[in-house]
Structure 1
Amino acid sequence: MKTAIAFVLVFASFLFAPSTESVYQFNVKTIDGEEISLSKYEGKVMLIVNTASKCGYTPQYEGLQALYEKYEEKGFVILGFPANNFMGQEPGTDSQIQTFCKKNYGVTFPMMSKISVKGSDKAALYEYLTNKEANGKVGGEVKWNFQKYLINREGNVVAKFNPGTEPMDEELISAIEAEL
């Protein structure tokens, strides 16, 4: 009888254990074509942003760069993911996007290869970020370019900010500082 009870308790612990999923389980490609694991950023606070070069929000690159410079030494990183899902506002190649970001906004935070953030070809990372079961109220579809996901040092999504939220917005800065 004790063996049966022990078995039930062990089995139940697997059923009801918290999810071990995090952003660290995903591999992505950098804008230079290098395949990396997001576990490379383990222990850092991340802001994941889907970007576009021909959007009304494109000037947010400037604020994102300033935010990155302000908090980088405290363990903060921004990961930009160019996406062409909204009215074709990111038509360029990875090389063109990289040149545009450096030339116009001095971007030094890590930029990734262009991906899809919605639809049938949505990247696995964005399947996870938008999943309501995995991320509760911060889940849900990407609304537009420059939607922001704040990831804590354990790799969990802790907040989502709408595309219109400027990088230097007080609420966004407070959320970042709380995680740092």
Structure 2
Amino acid sequence: MTDMTDTTTAGSTPGTLHHGTVLPEWIDNNGHMNLAYYLMAFDKALDDFTDAIGFTRAYRAEHQSGIFVVETHLTYGQELLEGEAFRVETRVLGIDGKKLHLFERMERASDGAQAATCEMMILHMDMQSRRSAPFPAPILAGLMELEQKAAERPLPPEVGRSIGIGQRRPR
């Protein structure tokens, strides 16, 4: 995977803030960041988020645990061009014993314009059985704290959206 991380800070917002820059190889035929690289950037932000909450590679290996993203929903706003810096904030919208609902917002660093959003449903996994399992207690506690902080802000309008043209026409 292409390295896109400049810095990551935890605790400054309800979640982790990931920073990156649009690389030349991410540009498509329209002259802006290709849709596949938005997902890659959101995935990298997720990695940084899990590291920041202590759910690191080492922790996962030691505890034979992991996470599987089981659903994503991306929306696109203002385009990002080659060389532009961006930020991704990760917010915890919901957490229970095994499931984690996250929302990531990508913005252009120069003006804060929303470039894209990614809503995810994630399962915590026991990697030996390859089945869902409860989050480890210290990780769960940290996620619950982040959920409470995120609840102090309104839900983003993109949360829970569905895709469609509108009313279905009879065929």
When the two structures are superposed, what TM-score results if normalisation uses the length of structure 1? Answer: 0.25
- Which structure carries more helix by proportion? 1
TM-score (norm 2): 0.26
Higher strand proportion:
2
RCO higher in structure (CA 8 A, sep ≥6): 1
